[in-house]
Structure 1
């Protein structure tokens, strides 16, 4: 579904999402700038890019989990029970987010699962509490549902009575995934859900996330694992230096015609099963972005035109994109900040 499409199946409608952080001396560092997209029921949008490009900041903004020095702008409308728009996640207060959004309408697989698990309680007790809270199960039904939730995320039953510090990174990731899937929330944000997993478990996790989507729920998959993204996603949004530089269907991105933005093409070419060639150079520091296109210093196509900031037009934000076109996507409007 293109960015400008109005659809009652739309679960999340993000427009001009901007996030900046105030430093002690008063200056602001822009971490996300002018991001816009729609996410529909039954759809997975994979948000990909190198570490530090703003993917996780975007997810934190949607759930109201940014630190106090953050400023946000734009809107993120969560669908209501019918065709009506629900709350603006960027404007909702903490009580609304905690009581009616997190866990119930939006599930989260966190990037750092160990930090989201209570250290003094076993995985079983935390998972059972989540099951009881979101499903109302009690007694033998609760015990059975807790085991089923663990199995769904490939968390071994023999480890349920362990504490978080006794888990490997991969097991902590699976415990967090199990808790995120319990409520079958209409929208799931999965932030690097395959971190620390071996390839077999990556594929199993990806398949479970795809099954979650195929049951009519939306999935925003934040990942640097393009192989997992190819297995799950319907569309791909590529972020660089806080902005979406390409938005395409997964079929076009991973197949033909392929990526149009040179950075997106470089990410794909870096895969071992492709050219296994790294993107040259390093991402810019957010407090020292070049004028115009942030990717220009790393780009072989850069010229004088790239001193102007490109806008997302026709699915790509580049003055010199590859010729074959992806389906159109609406450009992001300018950002107006608002205190978090």
Structure 2
């Protein structure tokens, strides 16, 4: 809800995520990626509403917990940190400002792992090392940390519970390339141990490094869902917008997609990407129905070389 108007930040999103799998959710800022993560954890603003279902299955469970329907007590005591870990997009806002990083990590280790006594200090150090957080900074307060250190502190906290599902919302923000690779590799290890990872990121290089599948969002909808090996290799993305994202990378064509994403409160009736797409036609005035993982009236034909992006992306 914005100024008395209902704004659909995320619409008709549907995907599954298996244990031991990493799904990378990519797209430009404002497309709804972080809103989706907040909805799953019940962290939306009070004036927001949700519909639909998101079923979370714990180890050995045949009946899933419907997250949007769960009450706050269930989310707080059972889901957050225990069944779903979160690496937040804005880590400084999720760290307690009046407590040191060591204190917050120790409390989380104690609560989620049941570690007490002399072993707690050692387990706290191990939790920090897992996210490459330097031990000599553990006694600092959040306001004394750089953006990259705050990100690593938040990642360390998220990994403590070894939750069956981890939501990592821009976990590489503020990190140099070496730390980006170390962080995403640690997240991949978390996944390889049989847990699910939803990686929300602008960093397509990080997504390529660890993802099994890629979901591309545009204007609140998933426009393509593909295997990562096909998306980043051959035949490449089939949706014009997804091809444009790859073409904008410095190591590829380094050509930006023209124009700007639409405002979510002023979306066209049909394809939201049509104003930026050279493949658009009169048919695009109708909302495309996803077919074979692609929501587009004029997808690039499967098997077409991924280097041929100009016609598909409008660049």
Q: Provide the TM-score with structure 1 as the length reference.
A: 0.88
Matches within 5 A, 1:154-233: 154-233=132-211
The corresponding residue for 2:2 is 23
CA contact under 8 A between 1:314 and 1:325: conserved in structure 2? Answer: no
- Aligned pair in 2 of structure 1 residues 156, 80: CA closer, same or farther (>3 Å)? closer
The corresponding residue for 2:124 is 146
Higher helix share: 2
Residues of 2 paired with 1:82 and 1:120: CA distance?
A: 39
1:313 shift after superposition: 1.1
Q: C-alpha root-mean-square deviation of aligned residues, in Å?
A: 1.1
CA contact under 8 A between 2:58 and 2:164: conserved in structure 1? Answer: no
Residues of 1 paired with 2:58 and 2:131: CA distance?
A: 28
What stretches of structure 1 of length at least 5 have no aligned partner? 1-21, 327-340
The corresponding residue for 1:42 is 20
Pick the aligned partner of 2:270 from 282, 292, 309.
Answer: 292
Residues of 2 paired with 1:23 and 1:54: CA distance?
A: 15
Pick the aligned partner of 1:123 from 101, 116, 119.
Answer: 101
Cα deviation 1:46-68 (Å, max 9, x = unaligned) = 00000000000000000000011
Q: Provide the TM-score with structure 2 as the length reference.
A: 0.95
1:87 shift after superposition: 1.3
- Secondary structure at the aligned position of 1:258 is classed as coil
Query: Deviation above 6 Å: which 4+ runs of structure 1?
Result: none
The corresponding residue for 2:76 is 98
The corresponding residue for 1:268 is 246
Residue 63 (structure 1) aligned with residue 63 (structure 2): no
Residues of 2 paired with 1:283 and 1:24: CA distance?
A: 21
Cα deviation 1:69-111 (Å, max 9, x = unaligned) = 1111110001044241221000000000000000000000000
Residues of 2 paired with 1:235 and 1:77: CA distance?
A: 19
Residues of 1 paired with 2:303 and 2:16: CA distance?
A: 20
CA contact under 8 A between 2:25 and 2:215: conserved in structure 1? Answer: yes
Matches within 5 A, 1:233-244: 233-244=211-222
1:24 shift after superposition: 3.7
Residues of 2 paired with 1:82 and 1:206: CA distance?
A: 27
- Secondary structure at the aligned position of 1:236 is classed as strand
1:325 shift after superposition: 6.8
Residues of 2 paired with 1:112 and 1:83: CA distance?
A: 32
The corresponding residue for 1:308 is 286
The corresponding residue for 1:16 is none
Cα deviation 1:249-285 (Å, max 9, x = unaligned) = 0000000000000000000111111111111110000
1:316 shift after superposition: 0.3
